[in-house]
Amino acid sequence: MSFVHDPQFGDRMITLMAALVLVLQIAMVGQRWLITNIRMFALQSFLLAAIAGTIAFFNHSNHIYIAAALTFVVKTLVLPILLERIVARVGIQQEIEPLINVPLSVLISGGLTLVGYIVAESFYHPEETSASAALGHNTLAIAIALFLIGFFMMLNRRKALTQVLGLLSMENGLFLAAISLTYGMPLVVEIGIFFDVLVAVMVLGILVYRIGETFDSMDVSKLRRLRG
Amino acid sequence: MNQIPVSQAFLSGLTLYAAAGLVGLIGARQRNLVRIVACAFSALGAVLEGVASFAVIRDAHETIISIPSGTFFLPYTFRLDPLSCYFNLALAVVGLAISIYSFGYLKSFDSKKPVGVFCFFYSLLLISLTAVFTAANAVLFLIAWELMALAAYFLVSFDHEKDETRRAGILFFIMSHAGTGALLVAFLLLGTWAGSFDFSAFHLASQTLTTMQRGSLFLLFFLGFGVKAGMIPVHVWLPAAHPAAPSNVSALMSAILIKTGIYGILRIAFDFLGIPPLWWGLVVLAAGTVSAVLGVLYALIEPDLKRMLAYSTIENAGIILMTLGGAMVFRSYDRPVLAAIALAACLFHIFNHAVFKSLLFLSAGAVVHATETRNMERMGGLIRRMPLTALCFLVGAISISGLPPLNGFVSEWLSYQALLGGFGSTLSLTRIVFPIAGSLLALTGALAAACFVRAFGIGFLALPRSSQATQAHETHPSMLAGMGALAALCIALGLGATLWLPILDPLVVQLVNTKVSGSLVLAGSLVLSSGSPKGGTVAPAALAGLLVLLTLLPGLLLAFWRRRRRTVSGPTWDCGLPGLTEDNEYTATAFSKPLRMIFAAFYQPRREIQTEFEVSAYYPTSIRFESGVEPAFETHLYTPLKDRILTRAGRLRTIQAGSIHAYLTYIFITLVVLLLFGVRS
């Protein structure tokens, strides 16, 4: 089992998992069912937790284990359950109606991935040939792409709840960028961010419920009516 | 003389103000307790502030108080120099009287009204006013300035149930912020050029600035401070906000808040920006003259008692600006003695106006509370029902009309002398400005007297014009005490003007480096002279004695006469139609009618009469009469400006679609473009 302790192996694992995260993100853009979407988000978060755990293992930095555990608990378990309960309570339609059709959306997501790579390119210094630099390069590109696609998901969808999902996957992108570039921020910052996300989802959950009550629909385009 | 620990007194005064505010916030439930404790604390705080300020002026000694703060660019530095302390003293005196008055006035509030919240904002206003006058740093000054505007806004909109009040509050807010915008730009520019936001650095930097820089700074500052000073044409918030606010607040705003603008102009013109070019003084003088004349013209036709007082505040701010502008002109001509005299007139009038205008607003508050109306056409006969309030109002009215021997007379007399002195002592065309300004000041004084004869005559004399006025009662003793103190001060400042003037010496020395009392006060501090051999002299105390003698003499004669003859008292002659009612009375509108006709070109009065009849026009069933004047500044300046802003804003509105998706798309596109742009460069 010597390969387990080989850093090269760890880097490859991380890159592989990051790529899977990106694939899941694009799949979420193409996916039409809300519940499946939430579960894909849970899976994506699980992969993130695994990335964090791998980084912690190969760099022997124990506090990242805590971040990984937090990711697992908050994003893989708590948030999806919370969201599914909201879905059940509001009793919304299961199908997502994107503003832009699925093939075009996936194409745009591909374009945004490209943008991520272009942007990450400028941070890449070829003279630094160490493994961590290469890892940083790849995962940063993926992280930026995640962020942009998450944003695109937000503006592509009508329902407030699916926009929450977009926001959460944007946050996943940020988490990936932070953890792969710095090998773990100070724990305080991590905990702060988790707490933030949790609170944000709660607020958004209430807001979603309210919008549903007021407009008999969760379609945020109806908020236009609030304009004076 | 004993030494007064100035900084301790100053800081504990501020602490007491703050304690009053906190009491208001904490004990919102115990209405009576809060009212008593908060008013007592703010009154005590005002006493301490007054003592500290007076000590600084008397000793002409500058005190700097620094409170360490966490941020490097914002030291909490207060500088107590004579100029700051003079304004702070006025605040303390007026604040003390208003705090005593509020003790009774707050009791009359509706039981639903949050007295505690009122006390909080009132204390906040006192603190921020003190901080505005004493801040020694531009950042601290601006913070205090904004706090002051906010506290005043909440106090003005205290009766927020009324549509009119909310509108007044918003108007105040907008105008105040427009002014602060100008100030912010000016302070940032000056701070950049001086390399520091410290007031002492501003003073040193003035020598290195170019004429262009100084000129633009002056205009920005003048505009920004002019809004608060109530200068025409940026005065529109005043006649709206003063009547809408509770009367103790209108008193504080009119007496002191207005003066923050004057303080600012004094500070920049005499401290920051060095010797002014001629045109600065002329601009200030012109703005002051326009404000004085137009302010009193508007006051003259206003039937709303408190709004009339607000217009009269504009007029007095104008008078103060006239002498201030005069002092600036004299300074640029290098006439220190004349500048000192004009400044003394200006400073004296600032204090006097603070005293008599707060007195008038407080008594107006008592009257409005008793009669439940601000319209003087519905008052009348109050001199019998509330004699002490009427007496206080009368003292204020005499004083503001500039009649001897009260304080308003002395400062207006000094203002005339200073302006007329300018004619003989300056060169070229400028000299013609002074007699014109002087005669317009005379016109203003006469019109102000007419205005207050009208207010007192219609409001207090004759028969009551409404049922509320019939049932009016004398006000709470503490309200009377507050007003009485101010009325006594009006008399004392008038009779003892010659003793008061030397107190202005440290200020005038600070500003123009010349003493003033030596040339103005003659003959063992009894006679006031105009400072030049050609000008006049006056002895207020002797005048008062003469007046007392002149009123006593007929009284004595009458008493002597009466002993001989039997007197019969009967009703007023009723032209043979028995039973005079309030309908026979002369109205306020009728009183000002002749003046409205004389100044028709300015007022552009409009009148509408509609008669309805069935058989013949000679037997009308009902007549509807409506008259009014053209609000010139609103229709010709503010409405077009507002319309233009709204059209521009309407165009911008198309991008504000109200759709979350559109907003997200804006952010998204911006983000991607910025990312790519960042990579390229």
Give contacts of A 111-150 with B, CB under 8 A.
112, 115, 118-119, 121-122, 144, 148
How far apart are the CA of A211 and the nearest CA of chain B, in angstroms? 13
Tokens of B41: 């604390």
Are B665 and A122 a contacting pair at CB < 8 A? no
pLDDT greater than 60 at residue B585: yes
pLDDT in tens, B463-493: 888 888 888 888 889 999 999 999 999 999 9
pLDDT of residue B289: 95
Q: Cis (ω within 30 of 0) for the bond into A103? A: no
A151 with B664: Cβ contact below 8 A: yes
Query: In the predicted model, is pLDDT for residue A205 greater than 90?
Result: no
Q: Which of A110-124, B285-299, B510-524 has the lowest mean pLDDT?
A: B510-524
Interatomic CA distance for residues B183 and B176, integer angstroms = 11
**What is the C-alpha separation between B394 and B387, in angstroms, rounded?**
10
Cβ distance of B658 and A226 shorter than 8 Å: yes
**Sequence spans of domains, chain B:** 356-554, 596-630, 637-680
Residue B94 — pLDDT band, cuts 50, 70, 90?
very high
Cα A92 to chain centroid distance, Å, stands at: 23
Of B656, B657, B661, the CB nearest to A155: B661
In the A/B pair of chains, how many CB contacts fall below 8 A?
45
Q: Is B366 helix (H, G, I), strand (E, B) or coil?
A: helix
Residue A180 pLDDT exceeds 80: no
- The nearest CA of chain B is from the CA of A221 a distance in Å of 6
User: Is the confidence at residue B432, as pLDDT, over 70?
Assistant: yes
Could you tell me if the ipTM is greater than 0.85?
A: no
Confidence of residue B65 (pLDDT cuts 50, 70, 90): confident
What share of chain A in percent tops pLDDT 90? 10
The answer to whether residue A207 neighbours chain B at the CB level (below 8 Å) is: no
Closest-CA residue of chain A to B661: A155
Residue B522 pairs in a beta bridge with B527
Going from the C-alpha of A7 to that of each of A18, A142, B36, the distances in angstroms are 16, 20, 75
pLDDT single digits (tens) B199-239: 888 888 877 888 888 999 999 999 999 999 999 889 999 99
Identify the pLDDT of residue B578: 74
The amino acid that residue B447 corresponds to is L
The DSSP string of B304-357 is BHHHHHHHHHHHHHHHHHHHHHHHHHHHHTT-HHHHHHHHHHHHHHHHHHHHHH
Q: Residues B157-184: what's their mean pLDDT?
A: 92
- CB contacts of A227 in chain B (<8 Å) are 656, 658
Contact B660 A148 (CB under 8 A): no
pLDDT of residue A228: 56
Q: How confident is the model at residue B108 (pLDDT cuts 50, 70, 90)?
A: confident
The CA distance from A197 to the nearest CA of chain B, in Å, is: 19
B276-281: long-range pairs with CB below 8 Å, 24+: B276/B218, B276/B328, B276/B331, B276/B332, B277/B211, B277/B214, B277/B215, B277/B332, B278/B329, B278/B332, B278/B333, B278/B430, B280/B215, B280/B218, B280/B328, B280/B332, B281/B325, B281/B326, B281/B327, B281/B328, B281/B329, B281/B330, B281/B331, B281/B332
Select from A122, A224, A226 the Cβ nearest to the Cβ of B679: A122
Specify the pLDDT at position A136.
60
Rounded average pLDDT over B269-288:
90
Comparison of pLDDT for A97 and A68, the residue scoring more: A68
pLDDT tens, residue by residue, B116-168: 899 999 999 999 999 999 998 898 999 999 999 999 999 999 988 889 999 99
Mean pLDDT across A5-13? 76
Cα angle B355, B361, B364; round to 5: 140
Is residue B494 within 8 Å of residue B405, measured between CB atoms?
Answer: yes
Helix, strand, coil % in chain A, rounded to nearest 5: 80, 5, 15
B542-577 per-residue burial string, b: 16 or more CB within 10 A, e: under 16: ebbeeeeeeeeeeeeeeeeeeeeeeeeeeeeeeeee
> CB distance from B613 to chain A under 8 Å?
no
φ, ψ of residue B481 in degrees (nearest 5): -65, -45
Cα–Cα nearest to B533, from B424, B432, B426, B409: B424
Minimum distance, in Å, between the CA of residue A224 and any CA atom of chain B: 5
Higher pLDDT, B396 or A93: B396
Question: Over the stretch B631-673, which tens digit does the pLDDT of each residue have?
Answer: 888 888 888 998 999 899 888 877 776 677 788 888 889 988 9
CA pair distance B151, B49, nearest whole angstrom: 20
Under an 8 A CB cutoff, do A115 and B675 touch? yes
Q: What confidence tens digit (pLDDT) does each residue in A13-52 have?
A: 888 888 899 999 999 888 888 888 889 999 999 998 998 8
Distances (CA, A) of B142 to B128, B185, B186, B309, B398: 10, 11, 11, 28, 37
Among residues B393, B445, B436, the alpha carbon closest in space to that of B414 is found at: B445
The pLDDT value recorded for residue B536 is 67
- Do residue B661 and residue A226 have CB atoms under 8 angstroms apart? no
Give the best residue of A118, A155, A165, A217 to mutate against chain B (max B CB count within 10 A). A155
pLDDT in tens, B595-637: 888 888 888 888 888 888 888 878 888 888 888 887 888 888 8
Using the predicted structure, report yes or no on whether residue B594 has a pLDDT greater than 50.
Answer: yes
Distance between alpha carbon B545 and the CA centroid of its chain, in Å?
Answer: 31
CB contact under 8 A, B660 and A151: no
For A154, the closest of B659, B664, B679 (CB atoms) is B664
Per-residue pLDDT band for A71 (boundaries 50, 70, 90) equals: confident
Query: Which residue of B660, B665, B672 is in closest CB contact with A148?
Result: B672
Q: What is the pLDDT of residues B495-541, one digit of tens each?
A: 888 888 888 888 888 888 887 776 676 655 556 666 665 566 777 77
Give B446's pLDDT tier (boundaries 50, 70, 90). very high
Cis bond upstream, residue B243 (ω within 30): no
User: Rounded to the nearest 5 degrees, what angle is found at the Cα of B259, between the Cα atoms of B254 and B260?
Assistant: 120
The residue ranking higher by pLDDT, B462 or B147, is B147
- pLDDT for the residue numbered B1: 42
Q: Do the Cβ atoms of A227 and B660 come within 8 Å?
A: no
A 151-170 residues inside an 8 A Cβ radius of B: 151-152, 154-155, 163
Q: Please name the helix (run of DSSP H) or strand (run of DSSP E) that holds residue B620, with its range, or none.
A: strand B620-628
